[in-house]
Amino acid sequence: MHRALILPLALLLAASPALAQAPAPPQDHRQLVNMPDLPRSLMRADMQDHLVAMNEIIGYLAENKLADAAETAEKRMGQSAMGKHAAIARGQGPGRFMPDTMRQMGWNMHDAATEFSKVAKTGDQAKSLAALQQLTSSCVACHMSFRTR
Ligand code: HEC
């Protein structure tokens, strides 16, 4: 760097306490899982749909429409929703790039959605809510442990 620039630059830095003392961002303890673009985009699309489905389910529960809640859960998140990308992914589905514990957490989510669906079909609203929390717990478990970027 040209010597004439060094002093003004040093003064500028010294005069920016906000820059020098920027608070450290909170730590991120999640494990980074690298995925190629295709499986990562497929997973993101799934995740967005899970959130939309979850929102619909809560709405159905509030209206006591348990059969509708059961159907949404099974179709969109349950065991019947597994492997739906096979045609596009051709072996490059997100599951292939997940560490074992992460893949297991994914299976747990599908199982929890299917279990919720079964409980909701019995028409018991209190038990359905408890089963729904098992499902949201499966979202939380994975989100607290892994990230893809
Ligand atoms: C097997 C692990 C796993 C499970 C189970 C899981 N997620 Fe995710 N989800 C992730 C990861 C990893 C990301 C990306 C986070 C990142 O890299 O920053 C993500 C991202 C998301 C996003 C953000 C999508 C975007 O716009 O980028 C939403 C919304 C989401 N998940 C909802 C859910 C819901 C709702 C459930 C439960 C029904 C759920 N997820 C279950 C792993 C999981």
Instruction: Note whether residue 21 is domain-resident.
Output: no
- Residue 125 belongs to a domain with what CATH number? 1.20.120
Query: In which region does residue 98 sit, left (phi positive, over 0), alpha (psi from -120 to 50) or beta (all else)?
Result: beta
Burial grade of 73 (CB within 10 A; 0-12, 13-18, 19 or more)? buried
108-121 in b/e form (b: 16+ CB < 10 A) is bbbebbbbbbebbe
Pocket of ligand 1 (CB under 6 A): 44, 47-48, 50-51, 54, 77, 102, 105-106, 109, 135, 138-139, 142-143, 146-149
In a domain, 5, yes or no: no
Per-residue pLDDT at 9: 57
Q: Which domain holds residue 50?
A: 34-147
Q: For a pocket test of ligand 1, which of 34, 56, 139, 148 has the largest count of ligand atoms closer than 8 A to its C-beta?
A: 139
What pLDDT is stored for residue 86 in this prediction?
A: 80
| Position 115 confidence tier, pLDDT thresholds 50, 70, 90 | very high
The percent of residues in the chain predicted with pLDDT above 70, rounded, is 87
What is the amino acid identity at position 104? Q
**Position in ligand 1 atom list of the atom nearest CA 103:** 1
Confirm whether 8 is domain-assigned.
no
Q: For residue 87, is it within any domain?
A: yes
pLDDT category at 20 given cuts 50, 70, 90 is confident
pTM for this model (two decimals): 0.87
**Is residue 38 a contact partner of residue 44, using CB atoms and an 8 Å limit?**
no
- The token pair that represents 44 in the structure block: 């993101």
Cβ atoms of residues 78 and 117 within 8 Å: yes
Residue 114 has pLDDT above 80, yes or no: yes
Residue 59 has pLDDT above 80, yes or no: yes
Ligand 1 centroid vs 144 CA: distance in angstroms? Answer: 10
Tell me, what's the pLDDT at 14? 58
Q: How many domains does the chain have?
A: 1
Q: How far apart are CA 42 and CA 89, in angstroms?
A: 8
Judge whether 42 and 89 are in contact, CB under 8 Å. Answer: yes
- In which band, very low, low, confident or very high, does the pLDDT at 19 lie, cut at 50, 70 and 90? low
